[in-house]
Amino acid sequence: MALLLKNAHIVDPAAGLDGVADVLVEGERIARVGENLDAADAEVIDLAGKYLVPGLVDMHVHLREPGYEHKEDIESGTRAAAHGGFTGVCSMPNTDPVTDNGVTIEYVKSVAAAKGHCRVFPSGAMTKGLKGEIISEMGDMVAHGCVAFTDDGRGIQGAGMLRRAMDYGKMFGKVFMSHCQDEDLVGDGQVNEGAVSTRLGLLGWPAAGEELQISRDIAIAELTGAKLHIQHISTAHGVELVREAKAKGLPVTCEATPHHMFLTEDAIDGTYNTSLKVNPPLRTAADAEAVIAGVIDGTVDAIVTDHAPHADWEKAREFELAPFGMIGLETSLGLVYTNLVKTGKISLARMVELMAIGPRRILGVEPVSIAAGSLADITVFDPEATWTVTADGFESQAKNSGFIGASITGRATDVFVGGVATMRDGVVC
């Protein structure tokens, strides 16, 4: 049945829309956008007071399947995505077995097709087993639908290895996404190296451990001509390096997470809250400000969550033994709306660029717009909804959010993927 979404405020810079209108969806695509639309026997949904935007995509998500289903699986992770307002996610390959060949890509796709609550665009490892030694089966993975290459969770340690992977893999036209971490320099670093690591007696993870690889990867992207995307950028100098690369016209993009923008190392105190242990670590307030400045001036191309679910018992350990990562899918939209849009730092149109348009462009997947003919991937959110983040409010199997207790304004209410509702009135379908 056709779907008539009425009276929402549509914001879509790609379509030049910023105002109240109706959207008629027929099958998986948008049939018409305009004022006072009518359609006999369409299901009508009144969205007055809500914003309607192109479906959000989170291009950095750990769904954990196959292999780590005790943390999250494709069903629960995509359920969390729908609950957070996302119509698509890019899954990370640090699964077990590692997603480094066509068979594992096919596995992720088939489980997502059977049980998923959003689109899943799988990324594949750059190197076999994420070991940084042998190039993965890139062509096979692309033939099966892999959208990007990354060894996320690790940086490629050898510059020559990255060069070979890019030289070989660039023929597939996909983006190379770098988790930048020089393992020799970072060692067992737990939190940002500086006053906080000293005060807490934890090994430091220096900003230079990230910046060295950002700088190196940009140089190798220039050498090879491959497309480079810097993942979860967290330092002021890192943002500056990307800004300079862009000014030179290099094919370099980057992403930032809500936790690196809205939390700092100062949140880690004598309670040693392991939900705040992330990789790269929470940095200084000056770093967070610089990342936000990059979001404002266009240096940052996408906001992502690095949704990294872990079981309670894995996080309930000594800080040094707990795994890195926090979940993010269900708080991202509200945090960005509260901290960046409501404060006037960015417009809602810029938020749409960062959370819907940019990620699809970088991943090279079909663009979505609120326009006739586009796929009907649509996110609707209530800009007035105020809520508090609680551990029992998540659809994710995991609870390891660093934002528990935060007050948020703005929450997704309705989500449609290819014209099919995946969330209605705040309830995941």
Give the residues lining the site for ligand DOR (CB under 6 A). 62, 94, 152-153, 179, 278-279, 306, 308, 323-325
Do 118 and 417 form a contact (C-beta atoms < 8 A)? yes
Among 179, 260, 315, 350, binds Zn ion (CB under 5 A): 179
Question: Least Å distance between CB 46 and ligand DOR?
Answer: 40
User: 139 or 323: whose CB is closer to ligand DOR?
Assistant: 323
**CA 111 and chain centroid, separation:** 20
* Three-state secondary structure call for residue 144: coil
The single residue of 306, 377, 382, 414 carrying the catalytic annotation is 306
170 binds Zn ion (CB under 5 A): no
Of the candidate spans 51-59, 139-147, 174-182, 385-393, the one that interacts with Zn ion by CB under 5 A turns out to be 174-182
User: 323 or 364: whose CB is closer to ligand DOR?
Assistant: 323
Question: Nearest 5 degrees, angle CA 247-CA 280-CA 210?
Answer: 45
- 352: partner contacted, choices Zn ion, ligand DOR, none (Cβ within 5-8 A by kind): none
User: 359 or 402: whose CB is closer to ligand DOR?
Assistant: 402
- 67: partner contacted, choices Zn ion, ligand DOR, none (Cβ within 5-8 A by kind): none
State the DSSP code for 274: G
Total Cβ atoms within 10 A of residue 147: 23
Question: Least Å distance between CB 62 and Zn ion?
Answer: 9
Gap between the terminal Cα atoms of the chain: 17
List all residues 6 or more positions away from 81 whose beta carbon is below 8 Å from its beta carbon: 58, 61, 88, 89, 117, 118, 307, 329
User: 9 or 179: whose CB is closer to ligand DOR?
Assistant: 179
User: 229 or 350: whose CB is closer to Zn ion?
Assistant: 229
Do 226 and 169 form a contact (C-beta atoms < 8 A)? yes
Question: Least Å distance between CB 304 and ligand DOR?
Answer: 11
Per-residue 3-state assignment (H helix, E strand, C coil) for 159-195: HHHHHHHHHHHHHHCCEEEECCCCHHHHCCCCEECCH
Kindly state the tokens that stand for 147: 């959208």
Question: Least Å distance between CB 154 and ligand DOR?
Answer: 8
Number of residues that bind Zn ion (CB under 5 A): 2
Do 355 and 107 form a contact (C-beta atoms < 8 A)? no
User: 238 or 410: whose CB is closer to ligand DOR?
Assistant: 238
Question: Least Å distance between CB 325 and Zn ion?
Answer: 9
* Three-state secondary structure call for residue 135: strand
Question: Least Å distance between CB 323 and ligand DOR?
Answer: 6
Tell me the C-alpha distance between 52 and 47, whole Å: 8
Q: Is 306 a catalytic residue?
A: yes
Question: Least Å distance between CB 401 and ligand DOR?
Answer: 13
Which residue is closest to ligand DOR by CB?
325
Kindly state the tokens that stand for 396: 């994710």
The number of helices, as runs of H, and strands, as runs of E, in the chain is 14, 19
Which residue is closest to Zn ion by CB?
179
* 41 φψ region: left (φ > 0), alpha (ψ -120 to 50), beta (else): left
- 57: partner contacted, choices ligand DOR, Zn ion, none (Cβ within 5-8 A by kind): none
- 324: partner contacted, choices ligand DOR, Zn ion, none (Cβ within 5-8 A by kind): ligand DOR
Do 11 and 337 form a contact (C-beta atoms < 8 A)? no
Among 72, 151, 152, 301, binds Zn ion (CB under 5 A): 152
Of the candidate spans 38-46, 81-89, 149-157, 165-173, the one that interacts with Zn ion by CB under 5 A turns out to be 149-157
User: 154 or 170: whose CB is closer to ligand DOR?
Assistant: 154
**Which residues sit at the interface with Zn ion, rule CB under 5 A?**
152, 179
| Catalytic annotation, residues | 306
